[in-house]
Amino acid sequence: MTDLQPVVDEIYEALKPRLGEGRVADYIPQLAHVDPKKFGMAVVDVEGRVFRAGDSDEPFSIQSISKVFTLTLALGKHGEAIWNRVGREPSGSSFNSIVQLEHEGGKPRNPFINAGAIAVSDLILAGHTPREAIGEIVRFVRFLADDETIAIDPAVARSEQATGFRNFALANFMRSFGILTHPVEHVLGVYFHQCAIAMTCTQLARSGLFLAAAGHNPITGHLVVSKQRARRINALMLTCGHYDGSGDFAYRVGLPGKSGVGGGILAVAPGKASVAVWAPGLNENGNSLVGSLALEMLANRTGWSVFGQ
């Protein structure tokens, strides 16, 4: 496989004039105070080589990118039975919409919108205290990234808890339909903590490498999931990973990806590489504006689109 460092460097240079574009999430102070001109990028190929640019080793709040990891965990614990509690269709609405829940019996459309990820947190709680469930999630992410330093930012978790009225609404609504089976406070305790995990681009790209490499981590040699499950998680990321901008991301970038309001995106080029980008300014759908551009440039230069050369 080719040396991608020149490609990564070129993208960083090309995007420098655009750093700061978009709107930084401001619903909690910890996100609002991030320097909007930050930019990091890390590509880890399936041979384990790492290519980096910018602030690729500065931790940021991964937020909704954590939904990929908790979905993987829940599939490991409950298998395909999780689809009784959450769907796998694009939502056609924003990340925190409650309308769909009322129209469809409280069952969230997919595990990558807030409601769906909260339902997944409930599944991970089965047989655990919230503390144990949070511990399990963190250990799983460390295992994926092969990095014991990854941790939750407690101030972020507290702020999410203090301001997350909309998520409390979603959770109580699902509870009223029996989609959640644990106390709302417990489920959201897990959810808010998973969103508060802080990672660098390099750590994040390593964590997603199993999805590019047919379910196993070629660096550590660990088998994480079966080939089929890796494909299926990638399919969900492609159709649902960018909220109501998923179609646009597929059209422009052509790779499975999952964004977070912290400005990060994890993208997967099956058989090729795992990629993480970070740029705090968001577009109108809540996805990193410059980060999406970086991935579009990378896909164009490498021909990694899953939709053809």
Residue ranges for the known binding site are 64, 114, 160, 167, 191, 243, 261
Q: Which of residues 157-216 bind a copy of itself (CB under 8 A)?
A: 165-166, 168-173, 175-176, 184, 211-212, 214
Query: How far apart, in whole angstroms, are the C-alpha atoms of residue 101 and residue 115?
Result: 8
Q: Least Å distance between CB 169 and a copy of itself?
A: 4
Query: How far apart, in whole angstroms, are the C-alpha atoms of residue 70 and residue 117?
Result: 8
Q: Which of 64, 246, 288, 292 is catalytic?
A: 64
- Taking CB under 8 A as the criterion, the residue among 30, 56, 91, 217 binding a copy of itself is 91
Q: Which is nearer to a copy of itself, 37 or 166 (CB)?
A: 166
Q: Least Å distance between CB 237 and a copy of itself?
A: 9
Query: How far apart, in whole angstroms, are the C-alpha atoms of residue 57 and residue 243?
Result: 27
Q: Which residues lie below 8 Å from residue 308, measured CB to CB, with a gap of 6+?
A: none
Query: How far apart, in whole angstroms, are the C-alpha atoms of residue 110 and residue 222?
Result: 28
Q: Which of 24, 38, 56, 67 is catalytic?
A: 67
Q: Are strands 40-45 and 273-278 parallel, antiparallel or unpaired?
A: antiparallel
Catalytic residue list contains 159 = no
Q: Which of residues 290-309 bind a copy of itself (CB under 8 A)?
A: 305-309
Binding positions for substrate are 64, 114, 160, 167, 191, 243, 261
Q: Which is nearer to a copy of itself, 128 or 232 (CB)?
A: 232
90 touches a copy of itself by CB under 8 A: yes
Residue 183 in tokens: 């106390």
Q: Which residues lie below 8 Å from residue 244, measured CB to CB, with a gap of 6+?
A: 91, 92, 93, 94, 95, 285
In the chain, which ranges are E strands? 23-24, 40-45, 50-54, 60-61, 151-152, 197-199, 257-259, 264-269, 273-278, 281-282
Residues contributing to the site for a copy of itself (CB under 8 A):
87-93, 97-103, 109-110, 165-166, 168-173, 175-176, 184, 211-212, 214, 227, 230-232, 234-236, 238-240, 244-248, 250-251, 254, 256, 270-271, 305-309
Known catalytic residues? 64, 67, 191, 243, 261
